Every structure is written in structure tokens, then in C-alpha cells.
Amino acid sequence: MGMHENRSNGTNGDFVVMNFYQEPHELRKQGDLTRASSAPAYTKAEGDADWEGGFENSFGQASNAFKVFSDEYMTGRRTGFTTVGDGRVATGDNSNVSATAFEAHDIDSGGSVRRTIPGA
């Protein structure tokens, strides 16, 4: 069945999800894909150590003012990309937890239905 959405146009032009079906294996698959998408963010967070290390040799001591600004920028860049990667890993983990919760709830609810049917 997978994930299906029927959308209709709301009163103010927004789309409203009418039906939403989610299979646990699809949630796990999407979680794995989301977790894997964190790798490029972590790679970008690493920066270019060769460029940073050889900056003064390449551009001279006069460029030190720019280097100070560049270091601050790179620190913010590392923090930002690491936050993106961490968010993607957390989203993937939440997908797996949600899939397990859906399955447990289905089993518990199915048992409740069987207990309400006479003779079952």
C-alpha cells in the first residue's frame, strides 16, 4: 500500500491531506534514506584542512584579517552542516521508532478487536 495522500484544495488555497496511509516497512525504508542523506552534510562540515592550513603561506601575513573572518565563518559553517546531519539522523531514527510503535499498536488493537467478537 505504501504512503498515499489524497489532497484537496482548502478554503484558503492550502492543501489538506484527506487520507494518509503509512506502512511500517516504508517508514523504515524512508528512515534509512534520510539517515544516509546526512553523509553529505557531515562531509561539508569538515571543510578543507589543506586550504585552511596553508592560508598564510598562500596569501601572506597581510591577509590575516581576512583569515580571522574566514575562521569565524568556517566555525559557523561546520556547526550548521553538523546540525543538518544530526537532524537527518534523528529524523531517520524517529521513523524507525514510529514504525515499531505502529506495529505494536496494530498488534494490541487487533487483540482488542478479537476479544470483543463473541465466540472468537
Beta strands 4-9 and 15-21 are: antiparallel
**Domain residue extents for the chain:** 24-116
Distance CA 59, CA 37 (A): 35
Listed residue (25, 27, 46) closest to 35, CA to CA: 27
Distance CA 72, CA 62 (A): 18
Q: Confirm whether pTM is higher than 0.85.
A: no
List per-residue pLDDT tens for the chain, 120 residues long. 344 444 455 555 555 555 556 788 888 998 999 999 999 999 999 988 888 888 888 888 888 888 888 889 999 999 999 999 999 999 999 999 999 998 888 777 766 666 666 665
Backbone dihedral angles phi then psi of residue 19, each to the nearest 5 degrees:
-135, 140
